[in-house]
């Protein structure tokens, strides 16, 4: 019931908020481009010698070529897929773990809540780049390391948001009535607490996705993320930075796409937040 009211309010906001609509359109475009990229007739992102080295954009090669003569267009499209896939998978993992721990801390309180709060403080103290260097030195660079770093970096804030909302819900009369009726803690958290924190969790999910894309791009820029020949937006920026003065077309497309992707997620998150924020005067009924 709460979920239906939330999505109805989000749809009303989408119709009345052009910025949210723009963010949704851009996000859908990037998701479709990344998912359908391998099926589009744009070439092989790993094929060497497709054109002259560092060739500028042309009709045959819309985004030019890199230092190995590879077409830049399929590489940018492939980079969208890798960046969104890694950030999205890590953030979904964060959402599942963060919601569970946040509900657990809010419902049981006491020592459990105190322990969760202290652990999140410790995790929040580690900068994502330092954590990436540490993880990469232990398990080596690659996509698995990126997922671990994004999850660890976005998990503390996710737990805090869910916990803060669930604390107020756990003190409500219907939760007490469920306890008196003999409902198990798991049932109370799933049936009574989870639907009431879903809106805040979805909003935090969008912001965590933008943070995840930034972290993935930063780690790939440092060579700790997706490894060649698989491109990501961050690794494309790193490779193009070497030839910035003579081949700027290698840097601008992935940089602009990354900026627009993060902007689209933030615009969508702002619109969803406005849809459920009572201070904005919108009702979930």
Domains in the chain (CATH in brackets) are 2-38+73-280 (1.10.3720.10)
In this predicted structure, the answer to whether residue 233 has a pLDDT above a threshold of 70 is: yes
Most confident option among 130-134, 232-236, 266-270: 232-236
3-state secondary structure of 122: helix
Task: Give the single-character DSSP code of 9.
Answer: H
Q: Identify the weakest region by mean pLDDT among 93-107, 120-134, 138-152, 206-220.
A: 120-134
pTM of the model: 0.85
Query: Could you tell me the pLDDT band of residue 7, with boundaries at 50, 70 and 90?
Result: low
> Residue 199's pLDDT is what?
83
Structure tokens given for 153: 């970096």
Average pLDDT over residues 249-256: 93
Two tokens, residue 246? 């003579």
Q: What is the pLDDT of residue 9?
A: 55
* Residue 281, pLDDT above cutoff 80: no
Cα–Cα dist 285/283, whole Å:
5
Cβ neighbors of 144 (< 8 A, separation 6 or more) are none
What are 73's two structure tokens? 């267009």
pLDDT of residue 10: 56
pLDDT of residue 24: 87
Residues 88 and 217 sit within 8 Å (Cβ to Cβ): no
Percentage of the chain exceeding pLDDT 70: 91
Question: Cα angle at 182 between 176 and 188, to 5 degrees?
Answer: 60
Question: Does the pLDDT at position 30 exceed 60?
Answer: yes
d(CA 250, CA 71): 10
Summarised one tens digit per residue, pLDDT across range 45-74 is 888 888 899 999 988 889 999 988 999 999
Start-to-end CA span in the chain (Å): 10
The pLDDT assigned to 1 comes to: 47
Per-residue pLDDT of 8-23, as tens digits, reads 555 555 566 788 888 8
Return the higher-pLDDT residue of 15 and 164. Answer: 164
**Residue % of the chain over a pLDDT of 90:** 32
Q: What is the mean pLDDT of residues 69-91?
A: 92
CB 230 within 8 Å of CB 78: yes
Cβ-proximal residues to 193 (8 Å cutoff; 6+ apart), any chain: 103, 106, 107, 166, 169, 170, 175
Judge whether residue 91 has pLDDT over 80: yes
Residues 71 and 59: beta-carbon distance below 8 Å: no
Per-residue confidence band for 277, with pLDDT thresholds at 50, 70 and 90: low
Question: Is the confidence at residue 272, as pLDDT, over 90?
Answer: no
Q: What number is the average pLDDT over the span 92-116?
A: 90
Q: Where are the beta strands (DSSP E) in 191-277?
A: none
Query: Does residue 278 register a pLDDT over 60?
Result: no
């Amino acid at each position: 019931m709460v979920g239906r009211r939330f999505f109805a309010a989000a749809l009303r906001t989408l119709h009345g908020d052009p910025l949210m609509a723009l963010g949704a359109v851009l996000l859908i475009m990037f998701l479709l481009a990344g998912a359908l990229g391998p099926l589009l007739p744009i070439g092989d992102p790993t094929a060497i010698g497709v054109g002259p080295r560092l060739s500028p954009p042309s009709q045959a090669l819309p985004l030019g070529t890199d230092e190995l003569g590879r077409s830049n267009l399929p590489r940018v499209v492939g980079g969208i897929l890798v960046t969104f896939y890694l950030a999205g998978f890590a953030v979904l993992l964060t959402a599942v773990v963060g919601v569970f721990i946040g509900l657990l801390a809010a419902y049981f309180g006491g020592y459990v809540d105190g322990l969760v709060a202290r652990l999140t403080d410790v995790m929040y103290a580690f900068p994502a780049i330092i954590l990436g260097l540490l993880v990469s030195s232990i398990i080596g660079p690659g996509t698995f390391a990126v997922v671990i770093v994004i999850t660890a970096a976005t998990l503390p804030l996710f737990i805090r948001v869910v916990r803060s909302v669930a604390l107020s819900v756990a003190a409500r009369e219907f939760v007490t009535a469920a306890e008196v009726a003999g409902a198990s803690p798991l049932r109370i958290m799933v049936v009574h607490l989870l639907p009431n924190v879903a809106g805040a969790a979805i909003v935090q999910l969008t912001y965590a996705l933008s943070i995840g894309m930034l972290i993935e791009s930063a780690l790939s820029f440092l060579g700790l993320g997706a490894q060649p020949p698989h491109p990501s937006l961050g690794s494309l920026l790193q490779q193009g930075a070497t030839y910035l003065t003579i081949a700027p077309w290698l840097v601008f497309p992935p940089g602009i796409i990354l900026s627009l992707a993060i902007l689209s997620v933030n615009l969508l998150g702002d619109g969803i937040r406005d849809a459920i924020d009572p201070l904005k005067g919108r009702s979930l009924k």
